[in-house]
Each structure stands twice: as structure tokens, then as C-alpha cells.
Chain A
């Protein structure tokens, strides 16, 4: 149980700042696409007897690079993501069906199995989270500038495409480490919901990221507690708590706006 809590909080910390950028840049679908691709990674890693993390990370990275390369070459971003995400998911599911002999619990990867997190999983999760947080903190100003205007980034002497790549790679790492915790289907929720919930409370980009991290952590703690008490699945319970927090803060925010 302690391990599960630590895993949830670790993912929440990595997902918070990244989720803010996903929301600001309207890349919500990108998280989904990377996550769907990760299923293919799971299938491959089971075939080649690698760790699930390695396989998922590899496919998520390839996906991220492919999207970055193809972006702006004829297809709109959402079309491109739609094609890649669902083909990766389909290929992944087909690949899994070829794996005879091994009984795979696909559900465990779709919805995550946070209660089965091992000590070494925990190391991977916190290692990945620390890497992502460090990367985002280091490039924070540049990422923020590139998010608002590409030319402004060039005029300030850095390449916005490189910043986009940093963001995409961080997203791939986060998806890979989060698979065990919330599963493929709910990773996007961990990215977007805490960030969206933090919006109505924040007055600066930095505070939005910090509040999102806090909301994510609280959701993990409360979600796991609720899962224990009511005997509900852990990953979805975490997301439910985050969604309830989002609803509360948004309502409070609207009320506050009406009064002022």
C-alpha cells in the first residue's frame, strides 16, 4: 500500500508540469496517442521478454519522434495523431493475440495495477519522474516562450522545435512510467485533469504547475484510500477523485468570477 501511494504521487509530480503544457498547447490528444502506442510496446516487450517499461518507452519515444517529424507536412495534427494512435493500438492488440502460451492480463495494462507495484518499479517511476521534472524545470522559460510564439523563441536565440521535442520526449517517459499506475487508458486523465483543475486557482504559470502537482498528489492519496475502503479499482478511483476536485474548483472559480 505504501508502495502504491509512493508510485501514485511520483506519477502525479511528473504529470503536473507536463500536463500544464499539454493543456496550454492544446495537445490533449497527444497524451492519448502516446499512451495508445504504449500498448504496442507492451506487446513487443512480452514477445522479446523485455521489461514492460523498456518496451513501452521505446514505442512511445518512436511515436513522439514520428509525430514531431510528420507535423506540418500536409496533415493537420489531430488527423496525424488519430491515424498513428489508433493504428498503434490496433497493431498492439493484434500483436498481443499472437502471443500464445503466455496468458496476458491486458486489463492490467489498460487500467493499470498500482497495487502490484514492486520496489524496482518504484525506482523506475521516481527516476523517470525526477528526470521529467528536472528537464521541464531546466527549460521552463524557453518552453513557455515557445508555447506562446515561435518567432519570439527564434528572436530570443533558441529553436522552438527543440523545445517541442523536449516536451514530446518527456511525455513519452511519463507515459512509460505511468502505465503500471493508472494504465494506458487513464494516463491522459492524470496529465490533463489536475492541470485543468489548477487553472481556476492559479495566477501564474508556475503556480499552476505547483497546484496541479498538489491536486495530483491529493488525488492519488485519496483515490487509493477510497479504493481500499470501497474495494474499487485503484487507477480509476484516483482519476475519479481528480475529476471531482476539478468540478469543485471550476464551480468555485465561476462563482468567484461572477462576484467580482
Chain B
């Protein structure tokens, strides 16, 4: 079942066209990653999907009654704003305490309920954002570079968590990331964006596509090697391909 479809989507800021004729869709339960260089319109695409960016052409269709869980790139809570994790979880949905607890568990951070948001570490903070997005059992999770500010281990653990969430709740995931190698191994499908859709497909297909090579080829040799490496010998990857097959 298709959750979100973007057809012939164009977004313009002033005279600057950031997205040209983008077509994409996302099915229930799949993990799709958008990669692309800086300024390629990744965030604009996500903004267009949630209705925050004005379209100058095309349209975005959502499944009627679609529940979106959004994890922002960065959430600014001013130090003058006191707020506990529990209250933050209830920001947009009035839910009982047990639901807050189970969402925090699903995001891998139980026992934070009574803490102030300002006291959390970067990793805990991102996981609380994830938990908040999960709280009303969304059909799809949207993540905009949700691991910014986390170190490599932290972000790898974060993406693992997302895979776990997908496995347990069956929600689709659409995410933007810079961390090519981590993301590629965790996705069912990759969309390579550079103002328009350069190429898309399974991670292996995209990684070997000439368009992708042209964008990332020289700078990310190491990352690609790592990615291949996981394919050849990685034990995690075996699990992953089973999931993809499901």
C-alpha cells in the first residue's frame, strides 16, 4: 500500500529552484533513505512532504488518515524553557503515562520520564525525539538527519534502533542522511537526490550507479569500501537481508 506519493514536485525559494520534477513514493513498512550532497534539496523534499514548503508545481498525496511521526534535525529548547521528558512526550498528543513509558522503551531510553530535557545528552535527546514521534503509533516515520551531533557509534546505534522499531511496529521509515555507509546498509531503497532524482533502487544498485559515483565516488571511497565489506563478510548484513526479504 502506498503511503505517500510525490508527483512532478517542484519547489522554488525566490529565484532558486531547489527541486525539479521529483517523483517518488513510499510503501507501507519499507525503509527509504534520501542521500545527496549539500544543497541537493533533501530537506526541502521532506518539508514538502509534511506541508511546510510551498510547491510551485506538482502535488503530494498522502493516504487518507496517514499518521506521521516526525523526528526533526535539531530541536531548539531554550534554556529558559523548563520541560520534563514526560511533558515533552505529550506535546502534540494527550497520551497516558504508560504509553509514554513504552514509547521511551521502544526508542531505547526507558527511565528518563522525570528528567528535564535540558539535562539529556545528545544521544538521549535524539532518542527522546524518536520516542515522541512513535507515541501515536505512526504509519510512517520521517527523520531529517536525526543523528546530527552524534558520534559514529552513537549514530550506528540510533539506526539500529530504527530498524528494530520498524521490525516491531511495521511502520515505514523515510530518512535523510549524510552517513552513507551506515544508512545504505540499513535501507531497503535509496533515493539519490541532486535537485532531481539522480537514481534510485536497492542500496547495491544505487552504490554502483554512475550518477551516484559521480556525486559521491571520489570523496567516499572509504565509506563505499566499508559498505562492500559489510556485504562480503558482515554478520549483521545476513539479518538485514532476511528483513528485507520479509
Contacts and interface: CB of A to CB of B under 8 A. Distances in A.
B75 to A, nearest CB: 5
Contacts of A208: 81-82
Given A199-B82, A204-B83, A151 B50 contact: yes
Contacts of A165: none
B72 interface: yes
Contacts of A203: 82, 84, 116
B239 interface: no
Nearest to B91: A145
A151 B92 contact: no
A41 B142 CA distance: 47
A33 B74 CA distance: 29
B204 interface: no
B47 A152 contact: no
A196 interface: yes
B70 A155 contact: yes
Interface residues of A, number: 25
Contacts of B75: 148-149, 152
Interface string A165-203: 000000000000000000000000000000110010011
A147 B81 contact: yes
B76 interface: yes
A137 B50 CA distance: 26
B77 interface: yes
A144 B82 contact: no
A49 B106 CA distance: 65
Interface stretch (A7-15, A22-30, A86-94, A112-120): A22-30
A26 B68 CA distance: 29
A150 B83 CA distance: 18
B232 interface: no
Contacts of B116: 203
B76 A204 contact: no
Nearest to B70: A155
Main secondary structure of the interface of B (DSSP, over half): loop
B86 to A, nearest CB: 9
B64 interface: no
A149 B76 contact: yes
Nearest to A202: B82
Contact of A26 (B51, B52, B78, B144): B78
Contact of B91 (A24, A144, A154, A202): A144
B78 A25 contact: yes
B228 interface: no
A203 B119 CA distance: 12
Interface in B42-83: 46-47, 50-52, 68-70, 72, 74-78, 80-83
Given A24-B80, A151-B144, A152-B92, A204 B87 contact: yes
Interface string B135-177: 0000000101000000000000000000000000000000000
Interface residues of B, number: 25
A100 interface: no
Given A149-B76, A155-B50, A204 B84 contact: yes
Contacts of A202: 82
A156 interface: yes
A156 B51 contact: no
Given A26-B78, A155-B68, A199-B80, A150 B87 contact: no
A205 interface: yes
A145 B92 CA distance: 7
A196 B78 CA distance: 12
A148 B118 CA distance: 13
Nearest to B74: A149
A58 to B, nearest CB: 31
Contacts of A145: 91-92
Interface in B72-125: 72, 74-78, 80-84, 87, 91-92, 116
Q: Give the 10 A-B residue pairs with the shortest CB-CB distance, closest first.
A: A155-B70, A154-B52, A156-B92, A155-B50, A24-B81, A202-B82, A154-B50, A149-B72, A24-B78, A23-B80
30 contacts: A23-B78, A24-B80, A24-B81, A25-B78, A141-B91, A144-B91, A145-B91, A147-B81, A148-B77, A148-B81, A149-B72, A151-B46, A151-B52, A151-B144, A154-B47, A154-B50, A154-B52, A155-B68, A156-B70, A195-B80, A196-B80, A203-B84, A203-B116, A204-B82, A204-B83, A204-B84, A205-B81, A205-B82, A205-B87, A207-B82
Interface of A: 23-26, 141, 144-145, 147-152, 154-156, 195-196, 199, 202-205, 207-208
